[in-house]
Amino acid sequence: MVILSLNCGSSSAKYQVYDWDNKDVLAVGVVERIGLEYSTIEHKATGKEEFTDKFSCPTHTEAVELIIKMITDPKYGVIKDVSEIGAVGHRVLHGGELFKKSALVTDEVVEQLKTVIPLGPLHMPANIGGIVAARKVMPNVPHAIVVDTAWHQTMPAEAYMYAVPYEWYEKYNVRRYGFHGTSHLYCAKRAALLLGKENKDTNVIICHIGNGASVCAVKNGVCIDTSMGLTPLEGLVMGTRSGDMDPAIMPYIMQHTGLSAKEMDTALNKKSGLLGICGMSDRRDVANAAAQGNQKAQLAVDMECHRIKKYIGAYAALLGRVDAVVFTAGVGEMSTLIRKGSVSGLESFGICLDEHKNDICLCRNAEFEISKDDSPVKIFVIPTDEELVMTEDAFALMNGTYDVHTNFHYSFEDASYVNKARARGLVKNLEKKPELADIIAKPKRK
C-alpha cells in the first residue's frame, strides 16, 4: 500500500508517493503553471529516469489526473493501479480555530475550510481546490487534511492574542495562528530524540528558514509562541515578505503613493523582504552579491540575521531553559552564512557555534550537531520532512489510530528510524566529504 501526499498551491501541485510497507519514498514530483497556456511536470521515481514534459492543466483536476497518470505509468510510474493508494494527505495552510489536529476529509470539512479562506486568501482556494480535485479523481480513497496551523494551537492566550480591540477577535478571528506547523512538529520531536529527552521534557527553539521563514518556541514538547501571525507575513525578514514592521507604515505609504489595500498587501508579501532591500530573494544570490561587495545585499543578510537572533533571544527568555536551537528548511539546512550570523554573539545564552562544523555542514541527508562540544545549548541542523508527517497522519486517520500529537507516536520518534532515501544520498555525500561523519548527530534516546 502507498500513501500519496499532495501540496497544492495557486498554480502548482507537489506530490510524494510513499511505500508504507517498506517505509520508503517511491516518487516525488511537481506540476507547475496550472491554469496557464501549458503546464510542466517534473517526476522523479527511485531508480528510474527523471521525466519532464509539458501538458495542458487548466485546473487542479487535470493536474491531479496527470499525477495519477505519471505514478501509474508503465515506464516512469511506481504503482500499477490507483487502487494501491491507501490514503491521500493534503497540506492545508490555515485551519483557523476549527482544526486543532489533522482530520479526515468530508463534505462538511470542505465547507468548514471555505470559511477560513479570508484568513489565507492567497493559499486556501488552491488548497481546497486540490482537495476537491483529488476527491473527484479518487472518490473511493480516504483523504486527510494536515493543517499548518494545528501545531501552534497549544499557544497560551497571552501569546496568540493581539493588543487590538477584543471584538476583532470575537467577530473576525484576529489572532496569531502560526505556520510551518508540520515542519516544527517534525523537528521538535527529532530534536528531543537527539537530546536523549522525552518530548515533555524538551525545550527547543526551531528556526524554519526558507523563502518563507518562522521561529517557534517549544516548551515541554509543545508550541508556546511563534513568529508568524494571522498570516505568514509577520515575523522574520523573508525572501519577499517584510516580516515585522510598524503598522503605521501602511497608511503612511498609501497616503503618499495612492496604493490600494490590495496593492499594499502585494507589496508587503511579494515585493519586500530581501527582494525589497537588494533586488534578490534567493539567499545564494544575495550571499554571492554580498561577498562581492554589494552593500545592499550585505544589508539584507545583516537584517535577516539580526531578526532571527532577536527572536532566538526573546524565545530563550520565554523558555527559561533552552536545550537546543534547531535550523531547518532550505536556507536553515544549507546556508552557513545565515546560521553563523543568527547565533553569533549569543555565547552568553550558552549558544556556542563551532565555525568549522558549521562551514562543512552542507548536506540535507542527515542531522548534524554544529555547536561546540562544550556548548550548554546544542545547535542542530535537522532536514525537515513535512511529507512524512502528512503521510503518517493520513495513514493513522485512515486506520483509526490518529490523535493530537501529544498523544500520538510517530515512527521518526524512534531511535531506529531511518529515512532510506536520505541514507542512500548520505553514502554519496560521505564519499565526497568524509568529514561530515564527524558532525552527524545521533539519537541519544532509545
Active-site annotation, residues: 148
3-state secondary structure of 320: coil
CA distance 412 to 189: 8
H/E stretch holding 334 reads helix 329-334
- Which helix (H) or strand (E) segment holds residue 146: the answer is strand 143-147
* Other residues' Cβ atoms within 10 Å of the Cβ of residue 318: 14
Amino acid at 324: A
Grid cell of 23 as nine digits:
517505509
How far is the CA of 324 from the CAs of 105, 188, 443, in angstroms?
36, 10, 14
- Cell digits for 408? 500520538
**CB within 8 A of 435, min separation 6: which ones?**
360
H or E element in which residue 338 lies: helix 336-343
Instruction: State the helix-helix crossing angle for 295-319 and 283-291, rounded to 10 degrees.
Output: 120
- Within 33-136, strands assigned E span 39-45, 51-55, 85-92, 103-104
Cα dihedral across residues 200, 206, 210, 213: positive or negative: positive
* Residue pair 254/265 in contact by the 8 Å Cβ criterion: no
- Cell digits of residue 252: 503612511
- 103, β-bridge pairs: 145
